[in-house]
Amino acid sequence: MLHYFLKRLISLGLSLVAASVVIFLALEVVPGDPASYMLGLNAQEDTLNALRQELGLNGTILERYVSWAGGLLTGDFGTSYTYRTPVAGMIGDRLWVSLPLALYALILSTLIAFPAGIWAAARRGTAADATVMGVTQLGVAIPNFWFAMLMVLVFAINLRWFSAGGFPGWDAGFFVAMKALTLPAIALALPQASILTRVMRSSLLDTLNEDFIRTARAKGLTKGQALWRHAVRNALIPVLTILGLQFSFLLAGAIIIENVFFLPGLGRLVFQSISARDLIVVESIVMLLVFAVILVNFAVDMAYAWVDPRLRRRR
């Protein structure tokens, strides 16, 4: 197990280094000068030079990479060109909205999908199964911003249970902040939950056809016991894979939902920085997201090993 853990950890480190090189080179090899791209066509030569200096475009490619990567390691992500504030601070503030939102949505999606998927699989071919399949089909098909607007209309405007948008900050208290994240989290979770339910169902149906389920039934287990004791854990591997992919997506992919609910999250920051051609911010966020994805993959790998003893080798 330790061997597996260390191996994954080394692979995690190597992936991070490789990702940072790729992101750095991407900006290096794209044709044109990043400084003139950021400032537009009518920029003055001395402004361009100043920006080049700031972007660290002067010096050899290796020097530039080392100073950029070194900055990342020490938490110095540079200064945003448009906002004139340290990028690290900007990202930090946004992360405190996006990360809890993503986790919240992920937990909701899991809480919906696991029972729904298991329930449908256990009742394969019945009306219950057909209903779950129908509802999840809708959940996958309908865009999440439409859910979001519908929920604002019902729960914020008509019922007045929630505010229609905005984020009061964590200083306002944990529950107040969580309440503000609730509608967005539901809107994000519903399509994800629909996908996850279907994955859970089909994976479980495959597992229920396995020989060892028949063995369990021959031992005297009821259908339900065989399902809970033998099938569910065996069905988890594909579900964990999808769960990992969904978390990475939720972290950065919430742009539209953040806009609907006026949330100051990472998605909006990316959107704004791209519009403002603020490459320093974009580059840092991309690096951060890549880091998050790699970290999530690491967590998923660990979860695989927790589920499946065949992956924990003896040594």
Partner 1 sequence: MSLLAIENLSLSIHGLPILKEVSMGVAPGRILGVIGESGSGKSITAFSVLHLLPNGTDCTGRITLNGNDILSLSERDLCGLRGREVGMVFQEPMTALNPLKTIGAQVAETILIHEKVSKSEAMARAAEALRRAELPQDRFPLSRYPHELSGGQRQRVVIAMAIALKPKLLIADEPTTALDVTTQAQILDLLKRLVAEDGMGLMLISHDLAVVADLADDLVIMKDGEVVESGPAKSLFANMQHPYSKALLEASSHVPLRTGEAVEVPLLEVREVVRDYTGHSHGWWGKTTHFRAVDQVSFSIRKGESLGLVGESGCGKSTLTRAILGLEEVQRGEILFDGLPVFTHHHANAAVRRRMQVVFQDPYGSFNPRWKVGRLVTEPFHLLEEPPRGREREKAIAEALESVGMRAADADKYIHEFSGGQRQRIAIARALIIRPDLIILDEAVSALDVSVRAQVLDLLADLSGRFGLTYLFISHDLSVVRSITDRVLVMKAGRIVEEGPTATVFDHPKDPYTQQLVAAAPVLPADAA
Which CB, 66 or 229, lies closer to partner 1?
229
Which CB, 122 or 152, lies closer to partner 1?
122
Site for partner 1 in 192-251 (CB under 8 A): 210-212, 214-222, 225, 229-230, 233-234
Question: Measuring CA to CA, which residue among 105, 79, 123 is closest to residue 267?
Answer: 105
- Positive or negative, the CA dihedral 186, 192, 194, 197 is negative
CB of 187 to partner 1, least distance (A): 35
How many residues form the binding site for partner 1 (CB under 8 A)?
24
Q: Does 9 bind partner 1 (CB under 8 A)?
A: no
Q: Does 118 bind partner 1 (CB under 8 A)?
A: no
Which CB, 27 or 311, lies closer to partner 1?
311
Which CB, 49 or 214, lies closer to partner 1?
214
Alpha carbon distances (Å) from 219 to 21, 71, 206, 209, 215: 56, 61, 20, 16, 6
Q: Does 315 bind partner 1 (CB under 8 A)?
A: yes
The structure tokens listed for 161 are 């249970």
CB of 118 to partner 1, least distance (A): 17
Do residues 187 and 102 make contact, with C-beta atoms less than 8 angstroms apart?
no
Alpha carbon distances (Å) from 73 to 42, 66, 312, 313: 35, 10, 31, 33
What is the spatial distance between Cα 166 and Cα 169, in angstroms, rounded to a whole number?
Answer: 9
Stretch that binds partner 1, among 19-27, 136-144, 251-259, 301-309 (CB under 8 A): 301-309
Which CB, 84 or 315, lies closer to partner 1?
315
Question: Measuring CA to CA, which residue among 259, 96, 269 is closest to residue 164?
Answer: 259
Which CB, 93 or 210, lies closer to partner 1?
210
CB of 299 to partner 1, least distance (A): 19
What is the spatial distance between Cα 254 and Cα 102, in angstroms, rounded to a whole number?
Answer: 8
- Using the 8-state DSSP alphabet, how is residue 83 labeled? T
Q: Does 309 bind partner 1 (CB under 8 A)?
A: yes
Q: Does 305 bind partner 1 (CB under 8 A)?
A: no
Do residues 149 and 260 make contact, with C-beta atoms less than 8 angstroms apart?
yes
**In this structure, which long-range contacts are made by residues 88-92, counting pairs with CB atoms below 8 Å and at least 24 apart in sequence?**
88/284, 90/269, 90/281, 91/266, 91/269, 91/281, 91/284, 91/285, 91/288
CB of 313 to partner 1, least distance (A): 8
CB of 314 to partner 1, least distance (A): 8
Interface residues toward partner 1, by CB under 8 A: 3, 125, 210-212, 214-222, 225, 229-230, 233-234, 307-310, 315
